[in-house]
Amino acid sequence: MMTLKVNGQDNHIDADPDTPLLYVLRDDLKLNAAKFGCGLGQCGSCTVIVDGKAVLSCVTPLVLLEGKQVTTLEGLGTVSAPAPIQRAFMEEQAAQCGYCIAGMMMRAQALLLRNPKPTDAQIRAELQPNLCRCGTHMRILRAVHRAARLMDTADASANERSGQ
């Protein structure tokens, strides 16, 4: 039995330590945003954030996650209060089939956490491991820039409210 912290909540998981995180997220915790695509860490549809870094959950065993914070797309926002990255992807209509989009959003979120004003080249480099066959790449690029602006505006508003 291990404790896995996902989206701010402790979860007691009874699984083999070599079990890929993706299986626990989907099967045990019923968090279905991260998708099973290739199972080899080559498509990015299973991307989540672990301690601020984008991680391929299909090839990350549970044993590596003890004491770490896992964030899935479900942990960023809700339908009624979407996170800036979710809102930006909706506003830019960046999804078509929707299969890759959760992984794209999580990788973009990780980028924006460490680089709040990325260039096109930085966004492209960060999203390169995630495959999308629908061809919405330009919309995705616009969505990441929009999310950066939304996050900057939210940070500025929070600083004003706290008197900083």
CA separation (Å) from 4 to 25, 53, 62, 92? 10, 16, 8, 34
Q: What is the pLDDT of residue 96?
A: 81
Between vectors from CA 68 to CA 146 and to CA 31, what angle results, nearest 5°?
A: 60
Mean pLDDT across 93-111: 92
Question: Is residue 159 scored above 60 in pLDDT?
Answer: no
How far is it, in rounded angstroms, from Cα 125 to Cα 133? 17
pLDDT value at residue 153: 82
Characterize the bridge pairing of strands 69-71 and 2-6. Answer: parallel
**Over residues 50-69, mean pLDDT:** 97
Residues 6+ apart with CB under 8 A from 115: 122
Task: Please give the Cα distance from 155 to 49 (Å, whole number).
Answer: 20
